[in-house]
Structure 1
């Protein structure tokens, strides 16, 4: 069955555990967006920047980092919203970012930000459970087989 506007219509609803993982990813994106706002504010108002660089473009590190994070986490937010709408996709992107965030959590521990490290690591585990849970995996596999059969 196909819907003209939204593409394939799933026979089964997105599993709740997968939706929960999408909500966790949205919370992570929200945290990054707050950080991005702070980077923009620091770029234009702070005389002592939080991010440092030895390059000739050192004055633009905050804004460059903010734009990069907006692109990456903006896409992840899109993926999470699509999952909540019943059209999950790009779970590989979620897994990649969660692996990176696990490394970030380790650096947080080493840097003394233990509480933030714990929060980040917990969010990583919860998001990955949403992706790799057997019901999520079965749903993704069924969706893939359905798309493949229509080709």
Structure 2
């Protein structure tokens, strides 16, 4: 008795459009960069542990602000990374968390521009726009329709 794969049992094998692969790939790069930044935040917390920071109130929790931020980054970008890998494997789950994150990053890019960091803002905005084009492109929508049988 043979067992068929669950993906072929639910829908026919339809090639993933290149534009979707590109958007998922940029998402993966974006997540790796965010994870590196998160690790740097944690390392900085350990390096400065016990030092006073005039910008934050003097409580024990101030030693862990970077670590808390890193955990948030790992969760949010981890969901987007999981979605990108899922789509690259031919599954339909993942577009939602990716689109939500990119919309948030467009606001972050605006904040970077207004905060005097135009190069960083441009990099964040460009990556977010490239990903949005990839995962919302008409060819991607056709792929989703064919996978769902529509």
Common topology (TM > 0.5): yes
Q: 1:112 to 1:129 in 2, by over 3 A?
A: same
Residue 149 of structure 1 is matched in structure 2 by none
Task: Quote how far apart the aligned CAs of 1:115 are.
Answer: 0.6
Task: Quote how far apart the aligned CAs of 1:4 are.
Answer: 4.1
Residue 99 of structure 2 is matched in structure 1 by 95
Moved more, 35-44 or 85-94: 85-94
- Superimposed CA distance per residue, residues 63-99 of structure 1 (whole angstroms, 9 cap, x where no aligned partner): 1111111111112111111222222312111111000
Native 8 Å contact 2:99 2:132 kept in 1: yes
Task: Quote how far apart the aligned CAs of 1:34 are.
Answer: 1.1
Residue 107 of structure 1 is matched in structure 2 by 111
Native 8 Å contact 2:48 2:63 kept in 1: no
Moved more, 52-61 or 126-135: 52-61
Q: Decide which structure has the larger Cα Rg and report it.
A: 2
Task: Quote how far apart the aligned CAs of 1:10 are.
Answer: 3.8
Give unmatched runs, 5+ long, in structure 1.
147-151
Residue 62 of structure 2 is matched in structure 1 by 58
For normalisation by structure 1, the TM-score amounts to: 0.84
Residue 44 of structure 2 is matched in structure 1 by 42
Native 8 Å contact 1:22 1:80 kept in 2: yes
Measured in 1, the distance between the counterparts of 2:39 and 2:30 equals 14
Native 8 Å contact 1:108 1:114 kept in 2: yes
Alignment of 1:2-151 (within 5 A): 3-4=5-6, 8-46=10-48, 53-54=56-57, 56=59, 57-145=61-149
Measured in 1, the distance between the counterparts of 2:137 and 2:108 equals 23
Task: Quote how far apart the aligned CAs of 1:53 are.
Answer: 4.3
Native 8 Å contact 2:86 2:94 kept in 1: no
Give unmatched runs, 5+ long, in structure 2.
none
Task: Quote how far apart the aligned CAs of 1:43 are.
Answer: 1.1
For normalisation by structure 2, the TM-score amounts to: 0.84
- Residues paired across the two proteins, number: 144
